[in-house]
Structure 1
Amino acid sequence: MFTPLASRQTTAAVALLVAISPVWADDRHDHDDRRGAVGNAHSVQLGPRPFFLVDDMQGGALKRTLQKCGDGPFRKSDFSIGHRGAPLQFPEHTRESYEAAARMGAGIVECDVTFTRDKQLVCRHAQNDLHTTTDILATPLAAKCTKPFTPAVFDADGALLTPASAECRTSDITLTEFKTLRGKMDAANPRATTVAEYLNGTAAFRTDLYAGPTSGTLMTHAESIALFKKLGVKMTPELKSASVPMPYDSDGDGVGDYTQETYAQQMIDEYKAAGVRPQHVWAQSFDIRDIRYWIAHEPEFGKQAVYLDDAETVAELPGAAELHGYKDEGINIVAPPLFALLDVDGGGRIVPSAYAQNARAAGLDIITWTLERSGILADGDNGFYYQTIDPAIAREGDVMTVLDVLAKEVGVLGVFSDWPATTTYYASCMNLE
């Protein structure tokens, strides 16, 4: 998913998230490998964070309702979507992150899809993020990066003149080379003068505990499909825009080129090859041309393709007429960021936004992103995701109020979260499938 530049690094109080104590519940997801259904039943483990959030809520009916659910049972829910897995604590798009999301009850898990130099699909948030999400700069493969590591430059008084930089793309290396890398928390230190310092930039509210030399297992797209089937979760791949010109690796004759359409079809073909039913796949893209391609050429997958909105402010959001236009051309699901769906009324209450009302009036279903990505909420400056409702956010427990408005008043299908235990707790308590 898109992450705005405005994302902040905050203080370490959320380190208490780390412990994972089991809260067991039966999860009887239908199992039918022959027909492409996804996986065996497994137990849901929430750990302490959802309980901390509920306890931290301001008193009222919602808090009392959620407290009554404290003994469970907790069940997997499609309302709870693992955003890149569970990257609040685990390196994104790694096996370990995906497994953590499934254990926390995410009914749907995301693989962002891009391609390597040899045109193989892999799970990465962007084609050009290997320098911040893997250890590539500390390996011999750094020599193949599009832009090598350049240290920060300071003036005589120690003020930063030029931040440290690098750019390493999946298209710089082959699949075999990609698989030698280890995932790390997505971060970089702009003041770094060495590679080691550059790689050591993890936000204080996250952790490097699960990014060691024996973890951070990178995955191909096909491997993610096999894992998700085993874990019993559904799938929401996002086709990422290429950092290289498309068609890729073209010789100019137009024959056999790796076009955007080839890329979009390749992603769907890997689900078909694995026998996954279209009903278990929510293909996403920020590029409306991909959505249109799937609607036209893979209609069974296209009917629940998700058109992502990358607006960074309210002013950039589509209006009512444009939303109706989406529906008219066969788009059924839109996915804007959290702020787009929420507003604050005159009494200080969080309510559905005009965009949310317009989208529903157009007959569109809605998914939103991304919960648990803003660090500490009680400081009153929560950046991108809460920009329309910051005046109503005063404590960590307010995240549960946000979920309640999204579920009951906006009517979203699901919520992407960096820590799916939070959305799972709410969904289980409110009997959301």
Structure 2
Amino acid sequence: MSLSRRAAFTVAGGLAATAGLAACSDSAPAAAPTAATGTGAPAQQGGPGRGQVTIVGHRGASGYRPEHTASSYSLAARMGADAVDVDLCSTKDRQLVARHEPEIGGTTDVARHPEFASRRRTVVIDGTSYDGWFTTDFTLAELKTLRAVERIPATRPHNTLYDGRDPILTLDEILDLLAGLSRQLGRRVGILPEVKHSTWHASVGLPIEPVFVDVLRRRGLADDPQVIVQSFEVANLRALKTQIGCPLLQLIDSTPKAPADFVAARDPRTYDDLVSARGLQEVATYATWIGPSKERVIPPTGTPTTLAGDARAAGLKTMPYTFRNENEFLPPRLQRPNPERSTYGDAFGEYAQYRALGIEGLFSDNADTAIAAWS
């Protein structure tokens, strides 16, 4: 039996619990922000009844709302996510904003603003050419005139209902939002900030790390165990290890890619080298977690690799990315026959395999489904 997105939303656990749904809101909580504080109450890792797995709302609840918005983060927290994933890019005036990539043509309504038409250009970032508009060409005040839109509307047409409702958020605004949610929910909602394209940002004179460290220190979060800092690069995580006490997560891209800082330094190693026995031991000298693409843990064939066990042997926890309910993001054997791109496949079947491996965390666009799978 194939499930439409709406049917699966109900049958597969949907928005976690009816009580949680009643509390959901598309706006930030009314609690007043406190810039000098963290995100609230002590953590409840793993949540009730699901062991020690950490479930992270990937860019919030991006399966249901445009990503990296107050609506998306709030919904993920109310669903029960332990933390939210926040990608950080720099503005022209050195402010940190939440966008998946510096290119914002696909995630905002910038193309509808004629006053910014002349800023469209082509930029090569980490070897990939992007045509569009870039956060580094805008001041924060200019970005605040834009609104977020759904990044993959063909797959998530329902999310387009929320296009234009949310502004771009700064890191400080997100921390204020999470602090308010933590107080409202009576539990800590953590954050996994990702430093995006570190080498590229530095090359254009807008390095992210100094501003990021300053924000953490100012807010008393520089040693917070519920702030897990991520990067696909290595050198910046090694440097951050000497500046902050937060746990670090080394993201691991798919084969045959390599960290951008390795490429820039003409280091021949790739991500494959990072997941070798020796590579994992090196990662463990600075990081607490690895965040591999989920296919590195269980390939589409369904036969698990040894990565989760190898990481554990090296003293690392594993948090694979990204779990999504739609057919196109599931291995063929777990897809359900239906021509609609928004159709859900057997997401529970996929989660069951990773649960059997004892992974310690995961990133999901559908935190409610992940929680149901572990409950």
TM-score (normalised: structure 1)? 0.65
Partner of 1:170: 135
How far has the Cα of 1:412 moved from its partner?
A: 2.0
Partner of 1:225: 175
How far has the Cα of 1:75 moved from its partner?
A: 9.0
Contact 1:225 1:271 in 2 (8 A): no
How far has the Cα of 1:237 moved from its partner?
A: 0.3
Relative to structure 1, is the Cα distance of residues 369 and 184 closer, same or farther in structure 2, using a 3 angstrom cutoff? same
Q: Which of 266, 269, 280 is the aligned partner of 1:323?
A: 280
Structure-2 separation of matches of 1:101 and 1:90:
10
Partner of 1:211: 162
After TM superposition, the structure 1 = structure 2 runs for residues 121-132 of structure 1, keeping only pairs within 5 Å, are: 121-128=96-103, 130-132=104-106
Relative to structure 1, is the Cα distance of residues 137 and 243 closer, same or farther in structure 2, using a 3 angstrom cutoff? farther
Q: Which of 352, 368, 375 is the aligned partner of 1:404?
A: 352
Q: Deviations 1:321-351 (Å, cap 9, x if unpaired)?
A: 2212222x3322110011111158xxx8x55
Q: Deviations 1:305-330 (Å, cap 9, x if unpaired)?
A: 00001114699633222212222x33
TM-score (normalised: structure 2)? 0.74
Q: Which of 396, 420, 425 is the aligned partner of 2:372?
A: 425
2:90 equivalent to 1:142: no
How far has the Cα of 1:15 moved from its partner?
A: 3.8
Q: Which of 54, 78, 86 is the aligned partner of 1:111?
A: 86
How far has the Cα of 1:169 moved from its partner?
A: 0.2
Please say which of residues 400-409 and 234-243 is displaced more in the overlay. 400-409
Relative to structure 1, is the Cα distance of residues 391 and 223 closer, same or farther in structure 2, using a 3 angstrom cutoff? same
Structure-2 separation of matches of 1:12 and 1:268:
45
Structure-2 separation of matches of 1:244 and 1:306:
20
Contact 2:290 2:319 in 1 (8 A): yes
Contact 2:280 2:314 in 1 (8 A): yes
- Secondary structure of the structure 2 residue equivalent to 1:284: strand
- Secondary structure of the structure 1 residue equivalent to 2:235: helix
* Matched-pair identity in %: 26
Q: Which amino acid aligns with 2:280?
A: L
Structure-2 separation of matches of 1:168 and 1:247:
18
- Secondary structure of the structure 2 residue equivalent to 1:236: strand
Structure-2 separation of matches of 1:123 and 1:222:
10
Structure-2 separation of matches of 1:76 and 1:102:
18
Q: Which amino acid aligns with 1:139?
A: H
After TM superposition, the structure 1 = structure 2 runs for residues 30-429 of structure 1, keeping only pairs within 5 Å, are: 36=37, 38-39=39-40, 79-128=54-103, 130-147=104-121, 166-187=131-152, 202-213=153-164, 215-232=165-182, 233-241=189-197, 246-249=202-205, 258=206, 260=207, 263-276=208-221, 278-298=224-244, 300-301=245-246, 304-312=247-255, 317=272, 318-327=275-284, 329-343=285-299, 350=302, 352-372=304-324, 375-376=326-327, 382=328, 386=331, 390-391=332-333, 398-409=346-357, 411-427=358-374, 429=375
- Secondary structure of the structure 2 residue equivalent to 1:89: coil
Contact 2:15 2:368 in 1 (8 A): no
Structure-1 separation of matches of 2:200 and 2:137:
10
Structure-2 separation of matches of 1:170 and 1:397:
35
How far has the Cα of 1:97 moved from its partner?
A: 0.9
Contact 1:351 1:405 in 2 (8 A): no
Q: What is the alpha-carbon root mean square deviation over aligned residues?
A: 3.5
Relative to structure 1, is the Cα distance of residues 313 and 392 closer, same or farther in structure 2, using a 3 angstrom cutoff? farther
Q: Deviations 1:262-287 (Å, cap 9, x if unpaired)?
A: x2132132123223351110000001
Structure-1 separation of matches of 2:373 and 2:15:
18
How far has the Cα of 1:21 moved from its partner?
A: 8.4
How far has the Cα of 1:296 moved from its partner?
A: 1.9
- Secondary structure of the structure 2 residue equivalent to 1:405: helix
Partner of 2:125: none
Specify every segment of 5 or more residues in structure 1 that has no aligned partner in the other structure, as ranges: 1-10, 28-32, 42-71, 149-164, 188-201, 250-257, 377-381
